A = this chain, B = another copy of it.
């Protein structure tokens, strides 16, 4: 199988994945390289990725480093070939968790730090309208709540998590003294 990008359906998947990436702040090439590896059942070396996607070697190199930063792609070696080969995470659930973890680290954590700092600086200031202090405070709290919820659920074993998702709104029944799904 040397022709992944020659299968029109695989190509469509890869291109769409690239577009999705760029709409969510991930470099298009990075997303395409990921999609290619996701569809591959064997480790691929950088040069092959270049050919398959029509990207420059340098960009593929950067993309691979980025994907390894997310821990959704890892290096392996193929016997008798000293080039690095690359392999992607294939479980979509793991993929989501890994991406979430890294984006939290890169973007959410610094945001919480900044907002915390702003809240501290605004404390007891007479020259700043109350509602400004309050709204920055609310946002800080909200993101903090979401984040600790995330930290909580990411430790739940995957099968339990999947079971919970399938329950969907039914979990609302277990909220003390509440009716449930309206």
Interchain CB contact under 8 A, A9 and B132: yes
A17-25, A48-56, A58-66, A68-76 - the one binding chain B:
A17-25
Are A180 and B165 within 8 A (Cβ)?
Answer: no
Interface SS of chain A: helix, strand, loop or mixed? helix
Complex Cα distance A96/B143, Å? 10
Copies in the complex: 2
Could you tell me which residues of chain A, from 72 to 94, have a CB within 8 Å of some CB in chain B? 90, 92-93
- Residues of B contacting A92 in the complex (Cβ-Cβ under 8 angstroms): 138-139, 142-143
Distance (Å) between the CB of A88 and the closest chain B CB?
Answer: 10
Q: How far is the CA of A148 from the CA of B136 in the complex (A)?
A: 32
Residues of B within 8 A of A172 (CB): 156, 160-161, 164
A residues neighboring B (CB under 8 Å): 1, 4, 7, 9-10, 12-13, 16, 20, 22-25, 38-39, 41, 90, 92-93, 96, 106-107, 111, 114-115, 118, 121-122, 127-129, 131-132, 135-136, 138-139, 142-143, 145-146, 148-149, 152-153, 155-157, 159-169, 171-172, 174-176, 178-182
Q: Would you give 23 A-B contacts (Cβ < 8 Å), ordered by A?
A: A7-B127, A7-B128, A7-B132, A9-B132, A9-B136, A10-B136, A13-B115, A13-B118, A20-B107, A39-B132, A41-B131, A90-B135, A92-B143, A93-B142, A145-B165, A145-B166, A152-B169, A155-B181, A161-B172, A163-B175, A164-B171, A164-B175, A171-B174
